[in-house]
Amino acid sequence: MSSPHDKSAVVATVLASFDAGETPERVALRDAVRALLAGLAAKVPGRSVEVRVPPYGAIQCVEGPRHTRGTPPNVVEMDPETWVRLATGRLSWGEAITQGRLRISGNRADISNYIPI
């Protein structure tokens, strides 16, 4: 079953750029990152884990203890290309960890059960 994000024109454009070995346009990459972050927030509502994809966005997700101030105890951070690849199933959580593409802190930060979106 394909997700609505797989059919998103901007996500498809960014993935096509990656497949061609090209750097996607900045605006397209930003929009793809934000669309996929919104998809994760909708799929896994909550406020116990913060997912950061600088410089384009960050969301809080996953039910559990709520974070309100300062640095959250559970953080997943990555670059935009890694996020797009993870969220669309082009890169597995294990591969991203092995390749050092994720920065994770906190005991609730493993969101691998929720991706791809």
Q: Which CATH architecture has domain 4-114?
A: 2-Layer Sandwich (3.30)
Write out pLDDT tens, residues 25-45: 999 999 999 999 999 999 999
Write out pLDDT tens, residues 74-110: 999 999 999 999 999 999 999 999 999 999 999 999 9
Q: What is the pLDDT of residue 65?
A: 77
Write out pLDDT tens, residues 50-80: 999 999 999 999 998 776 677 778 999 999 9
- Tell me the domain boundaries of the chain: 4-114
User: For the residues of the chain, what is the DSSP string, one character each?
Assistant: ---GGGG-HHHHHHHHHHHTT-PPPHHHHHHHHHHHHHHHHHHS--SSEEEEETTTEEEEESSSS---SSS-SSEEE--HHHHHHHHTTSS-HHHHHHTT--EEESTT---GGG---
Name the pTM for this structure.
0.89
Q: What is the pLDDT of residue 106?
A: 93
